[in-house]
Structure 1
Amino acid sequence: MKRLYNSPGTVVSEALEGIALTHPELLRLAHDPTYVARVDAPVAGRVALVSGGGSGHEPMHVGFVGPGMLSAACPGEVFTSPTADQVEAAVRAVDAGAGTVLVVKNYSGDVMNFEMAAELLAADGVDTETVLVADDVAVEDSTYTSGRRGVGATVLVEKVCGAAAARGDSLAQVAELGRRVCARSRSLGFALTAGTVPATGRRSFELPDDEIEFGVGIHGEPGRERRPMEPVDALVDRAMAAICADFDPAVLTGEVLLFVTGLGSATPLECSIVARRAVQELDRRGLRVARNLVGSYMTSLDMLGVSLTVLVLDEQLVELWDAPVHTAALRWGA
C-alpha cells in the first residue's frame, strides 16, 4: 500500500493537527480527550451543535465545524466511534447554557456513546437533544446498525441545524428541524472498490472488476446486492428509483435538494456525471432540483463510489440551507 502516512497509528492525530494548523481562525484542537471546537465557542445565547463519528469520512465531521454549522466534532479512530468522554468534553466546551443538539448517525457504537454522554451531562444539569440520522434506504440492518444507517443526510442536518442555532432558535426548535430533515431525506450509495484501511493496508472487501456493490455502507458494509457493472446512467437510475420509491408519494413533490458525495476516489469529473443523470431523473419524475451539493463531503477512505441523497425542501429549509456558513469544507455567504 502506498499512502501519504507516516505510520498507521498516527493517521488520525496528524490529520487533526493539520486541519487545526491550517484553520486557526476557525478551529481549536483539544486532547485527552480529543475533540475539535469552534474558536469562538461557547457562543452566548445560542444552542450548540455537536456531532462526531469514526475518522475516514473526511471532511465529515471536523471539516464542518464553524459558524453556521457545528460547534464541535468528536473524531474517533478510523471507522471507530468516538468515546462518551470525548462527546461529554466537547459539549461542556461549547455549551453556552442554551443546550446542545447532538447529531448522531445510526451506528451502534455512535448511538451508545452519545447516549452515555447525554446521561452524564443530564446528571449535571446540561440539556441535550439528540437527532438520530437514519436515511440509507439500502438495507434495514447492517454490520454496524440496528435499523437504517445514517449517511449523507447527516451533512444536511448539520447545515440546517447550524443555521437555525445561529439565528437564535431554541433547543427544541433546532432539534425539531434536524428531525424534519431526517424525515424528508433518503440516500443510497454504490461502489466499484472498497476503501483501504490504514491499520491493515488492505481493502475492506474485494470486488471483481466487472461487479459493483449496490447500496454499500460508508464503512464497507454490504449493500443490497452485488451486480454486474453497468454504465453510470443505469446505476444512477437504479439508485434514484430506490430512493424515490422509499418516500411517501404525498411528500415527494415540488422542490428538492440533491446531494452527491464522492466516497473517496471518485473524481470531480465522475461526480458531475452522476449529478447530471440524477438531475435528469428527478426532472423526469416531476421534481425540481432547487439546491444541490456535489463533491466529496462524506467519504470512506479511498472507496471508489458515490452516495446520492434527496431532501424534499420547504420554504424554511431553503432559507436555512442558504444561510451563511464558514467551515473548512463548506463556505458561502460569509
Structure 2
Amino acid sequence: MTLTKKIINSGDDVVDEMVEGLLLAHSGIVTSVPGSPRSIIARHGPRPGKVGMVIGGGSGHEPTFVGFVGKGLADAAAIGNVFASPPPDPILACAVAVNQGAGVLFCYGNYAGDVMNFDMAAEMAEMDGIEVRTVVTTDDVASAPRDQRHKRRGVAGNFFVFKAAGAACDLMLPLDEVVRVANLANDRTYTVGVGLSACSLPQTRRANFHLGDEEMEVGLGIHGEPGIIRQPLQTADAIVDDMLDRIFAEMNPQRGDRVAVLVNSLGSTTLMELYVMNRRVRQRLDALGVEVHATWVGPYCTSLEMAGASVTLMHLDDELTRLIDLPCDCAMFRAG
C-alpha cells in the first residue's frame, strides 16, 4: 500500500509539537497548565463567579477542539492523541484551572473513550469539591435512528454547541442555565457528512479505509467510522440535496424559521467546493422560506486530510441567535 506524505518529524511526536507551535503562535490567547502541556487554557476566559467550560477530544480535528479556546467560548481544552480521547489527568487539570467557584461544564462529542475519561475526570474533580456537569454532543444524524439520538456521534455541530454554551458562560449565567443552553443547542443542531477518500494516521501514513475512485460514502464518521450508504460519486447539488433531505426530515423547518449554517471541510476538500455546496444549501433554504441568519464555510471540524464535507444546520430561536452572535476571541476562530 502506498504511504501518504506528511510534513512531520515523527508520528509519535506530532501532537506535542503541534501544541508547542500553537502556543507560540497564539500566546496572547492560550497557554498550558504548568505540568500538563496538553491542558490548554484561555488567558482571558476564567474569572471569579464564572462557570468554567472544558471541551476536548482527540487531535486531528483542528480547529476542533483546541482552536475554540478563548474569551467568550471554551475556557480550556484537553488534547488527546490523534483520534484518541485525552486521559483523565489533563481533563482534571483543565477543570481545576478554570474552576472559579461556579462549577464547570464538560462538553465534548459522544464517543465511548471520551465519555469514560471525562466521567472519570468529573468524579476526580468532585472529590476536590468542584461541581461538574456534562453535555455530550449528538448532532450526527446519520449515526443512529431518530429515536436513539442519545447514541449519535458529535461531529461538526460541536462548533455551534460550543459557541452557544461558551457565550452562556461568558454572560455569567449559573451552571444550571449553562447546561440548559448547551442541551438546547445540541437538540437543535443537525449534521450530515459525506466522505470521498480516506485520511492516514501520522504513525502509519496508510489510509484508514478505502473508497473506490468513483465512490462516496454518506454518513461517514470523522474517524473513518462506516456511514449509512456507499454509492457512486454524485454532483455537488445532488450531494447537498441528500444531506439536507435527511436534516429536514428531523428538523422540520417552517417558513419564517431561522437557521445558522456550517459547510465544513473534513480536511482536503477545497473552499471552491465548499462554496459550491453553500450555494445549493442557500437555494434549498430560500425555497422553503427559511432565513439564514449566519453562515460559516471552511475547515471547522476536520479529519486530518480526509476528502469530504459536512453540512450542519442549527435551528435558531431568539436565545440561540443572541448566543451565537456574541463576540469570542480564540486561537482559530473569532466572532463579533
Q: TM-score range by the shorter chain?
A: over 0.9
Pair 1:120-2:133 in alignment? no
Please give the alpha-carbon distance, in whole angstroms, between the structure 2 residues aligned to 1:331 and 1:237.
30
CA contact (8 A) 2:36 2:93 kept: no
1:281 to 273, 276, 284: 284
Determine the structure 1 residue equivalent to 2:84: 80
Determine the structure 1 residue equivalent to 2:179: 175
Please report how far the alpha carbon of residue 332 of structure 1 lies from its aligned counterpart in structure 2 after TM superposition.
2.5
CA contact (8 A) 2:191 2:313 kept: yes
Please give the alpha-carbon distance, in whole angstroms, between the structure 2 residues aligned to 1:61 and 1:250.
29
Q: Structure 1 residues 159 and 41 mapped into 2: Cα distance closer, same or farther (>3 Å)?
A: closer
Determine the structure 2 residue equivalent to 1:15: 18
Identity of aligned residues (%): 41
Determine the structure 1 residue equivalent to 2:298: 295
Instruction: Report 1:195-274 matches (<5 A).
Output: 195-247=199-251, 249=252, 254-274=257-277
Please give the alpha-carbon distance, in whole angstroms, between the structure 2 residues aligned to 1:43 and 1:241.
43
Give the secondary structure class of the aligned counterpart of 1:92.
Answer: helix
Please give the alpha-carbon distance, in whole angstroms, between the structure 1 residues aligned to 2:286 and 2:113.
38
Determine the structure 2 residue equivalent to 1:57: 61
Offset from partner CA, 1:73-93 (integer Å, 9 cap, x none)? 011000000111111111001
Please report how far the alpha carbon of residue 6 of structure 1 lies from its aligned counterpart in structure 2 after TM superposition.
0.7
Please give the alpha-carbon distance, in whole angstroms, between the structure 2 residues aligned to 1:279 and 1:119.
45
Residue type matched to 1:82 in 2? P
Instruction: Report 1:130-149 matches (<5 A).
Output: 130-140=134-144, 147-149=151-153
CA contact (8 A) 1:189 1:215 kept: yes
Pair 1:92-2:96 in alignment? yes
Pair 1:305-2:334 in alignment? no
Report the TM-score, using the length of structure 1 for normalisation. Answer: 0.95
Please give the alpha-carbon distance, in whole angstroms, between the structure 2 residues aligned to 1:253 and 1:133.
27
Give the secondary structure class of the aligned counterpart of 2:49.
Answer: coil
Residue type matched to 2:288 in 1? R
Report the TM-score, using the length of structure 2 for normalisation. Answer: 0.94
Please give the alpha-carbon distance, in whole angstroms, between the structure 1 residues aligned to 2:36 and 2:217.
38
Determine the structure 2 residue equivalent to 1:24: 27
Please report how far the alpha carbon of residue 199 of structure 1 lies from its aligned counterpart in structure 2 after TM superposition.
1.2
CA contact (8 A) 1:152 1:307 kept: yes
When the two structures are aligned, how many residues end up with a matched partner?
329
Q: Which stretches in structure 2 are left out of the alignment for 5+ residues?
A: none
Give the secondary structure class of the aligned counterpart of 1:307.
Answer: strand
CA contact (8 A) 1:271 1:306 kept: yes
Residue type matched to 2:259 in 1? V
CA contact (8 A) 1:51 1:103 kept: yes
Determine the structure 2 residue equivalent to 1:104: 108
RMSD of the alignment, in Å?
1.7
Give the secondary structure class of the aligned counterpart of 1:203.
Answer: coil
Please report how far the alpha carbon of residue 252 of structure 1 lies from its aligned counterpart in structure 2 after TM superposition.
8.8
Determine the structure 2 residue equivalent to 1:322: 325
Q: Structure 1 residues 250 and 100 mapped into 2: Cα distance closer, same or farther (>3 Å)?
A: same
Please report how far the alpha carbon of residue 286 of structure 1 lies from its aligned counterpart in structure 2 after TM superposition.
2.8
Please give the alpha-carbon distance, in whole angstroms, between the structure 1 residues aligned to 2:178 and 2:255.
23
Give the secondary structure class of the aligned counterpart of 2:305.
Answer: coil
1:161 to 160, 165, 170: 165
Residue type matched to 1:114 in 2? F
CA contact (8 A) 1:33 1:89 kept: no
Please report how far the alpha carbon of residue 189 of structure 1 lies from its aligned counterpart in structure 2 after TM superposition.
0.2
